[in-house]
Amino acid sequence: MTTPVTILRGATVFTAAGGDPFQGSVVVAGDRIADVLTGPSAPSRPGRVIDLHGATLLPGLIDAHVHAAAVRADIQDQHRDLFDSELAVLTARSLTEMLDRGFTTVRDAGGADAGYRRLIERGDLAGPRLLVSGRPLTQTGGHGDSRRATESHDFAACPRAQGMTHAVADGPDAVRHAAREELRRGADQIKVMAGGGVMSPTDRLESVQYSLAELSAAVGAAAASGTYVLAHAYTPEAIEVCVAAGVRSIEHGNLLNEPVARLMAQAGTFLVPTLVTYEKLYEQGEELGIPRANLDKLGAIIDAGVNSLRIARGAGVKIGSGSDLLGPMRVHQGREIALQAQALGAAGAIVAATRTNAELLGIDAETGTIEPGKAADLIAVDGDPLADPGLLADPGRLRLVMRVGRTHIDRTG
């Protein structure tokens, strides 16, 4: 059987593998990139030819921090209002919409289970390549403990099958068991809550959560299964404990300082900023029903995010890219790249959302750059996002979205 060939010609190609953009063509054979050619002429070989003059061809975008199951902005109450069946359908829809926005790979940082990954892999659900974290691990009263101060029920006594669920575990043995349970249930990696957060009801943003022994237990359980731990953390104190424990990526990190950034660089720990979620929570949170007490926590971190990127970049930290958007705010997923460009430049922010994220996720041999042999995860954007990264925030600018050689969006005709 002949392998189908598609020739994408005439675009400005930014491979994200190093080097400047160039006018050229990319040849896709089946689900792989077969060739990358410079120059205005298409290769003389049979196949379907797609003209992309005026567009920029990029690797498919990767979002290293999504919550597909956060179907509403107020994640504290969505499980009180929606049936599991509603949550499942809305979660699936949110994944398809991420692919619509040009994100061909996403790492779910808590909420989605392995069933969504299987649906996508089988072709039963249109969506990005998906890596799931299952239920994040949280200490009692930590960022993932959604009980209000007035509630005293056992967190595990009324578990939900869908939505933003968490596993409460205290002490190294319980944390190790909880991590192993998530791995048994198909998690690709383990998420831990190592510090306070905006959306939790009873913890302080600056609190340090989980001890070195507890975090090390999670890291050890993950490593024994050939995977890693990502950690929610804002403050230098929380980040330092995570680095010491061997956590692979720090999520958010808005209050990062220079000494801890140097520790991260020395350890090879990644930083995954999520600037856009704070911008949109500040702009839209109240009208979307997020309690005022939660929004008040934003003050300490919203203005610090870009500065943390500058500190991390100066120290040599590997910087990835995440969005962390909730509910209807997810339409702004692509804006994260423009926000990061303030500190990294447009090319640097695109590389963070492609090559660096692929390295973080351990899939850089498969995707993240435009190179022969890699999966044909490609997007074509009308205009020049290297001059205006804000273009990536507008799904209407996408002329082509291809994931593993399969065309999801084609507006080239």
What is the pLDDT at residue 39?
Answer: 87
What is the pLDDT at residue 143?
Answer: 72
Which residues in the chain come in under a pLDDT of 50?
157
Q: Which residues contact 85 (CB under 8 A, 6 or more apart)?
A: none
Q: Which residues contact 97 (CB under 8 A, 6 or more apart)?
A: 330
> Could you give the CA distance from residue 397 to residue 101 in angstroms, rounded to a whole number?
10
**CATH 2.30.40.10 residue spans of the chain:** 5-60+368-410
What is the pLDDT at residue 157?
Answer: 47
Residue in this structure with the two tokens 């509603």, named with its chain if needed: 86
Q: Is domain 5-60+368-410 in CATH 2.30.40.10, yes or no?
A: yes
What is the pLDDT at residue 1?
Answer: 67
Residue in this structure with the two tokens 């869908």, named with its chain if needed: 162
What is the pLDDT at residue 259?
Answer: 98
In angstroms, how far is the first alpha carbon of the chain from the final one?
A: 27
- Please list the residues that pair with 409 across neighbouring strands: 401
> Could you give the CA distance from residue 219 to residue 228 in angstroms, rounded to a whole number?
6
Residue in this structure with the two tokens 């995010």, named with its chain if needed: 305
What is the pLDDT at residue 207?
Answer: 72
Task: Give, in order, the Cα–Cα distances in Å from 22 to each of 19, 56, 179, 351.
Answer: 9, 9, 45, 16
What is the pLDDT at residue 78?
Answer: 85
> Could you give the CA distance from residue 52 to residue 404 in angstroms, rounded to a whole number?
19
On whether the CB atoms of residues 272 and 286 are closer than 8 A, the answer is no
What is the pLDDT at residue 144?
Answer: 66
Q: Which residues contact 159 (CB under 8 A, 6 or more apart)?
A: 165
291-295: list long-range contacts, CB under 8 Å, 24+ apart.
Answer: 291/74, 291/76, 293/201, 294/76, 294/198, 294/199, 294/200, 294/201, 295/198
pLDDT, one tens digit per residue, over 256-280 is: 999 999 999 999 999 999 999 989 9
On whether the CB atoms of residues 99 and 128 are closer than 8 A, the answer is yes
Q: What's 30's DSSP letter?
A: T
CATH superfamily of this structure's domain 61-333: Metal-dependent hydrolases (3.20.20.140)
**CATH 3.20.20.140 residue spans of the chain:** 61-333
| Chain centroid, CA 84 distance in Å | 24
Q: Which residue, among 219, 194, 197, 198, has the nearest Cα to 209 in the 3D structure? A: 194
What is the pLDDT at residue 206?
Answer: 72
On whether the CB atoms of residues 197 and 158 are closer than 8 A, the answer is no
What is the pLDDT at residue 160?
Answer: 66
The pTM assigned to this predicted structure is 0.94
> Could you give the CA distance from residue 73 to residue 76 in angstroms, rounded to a whole number?
9
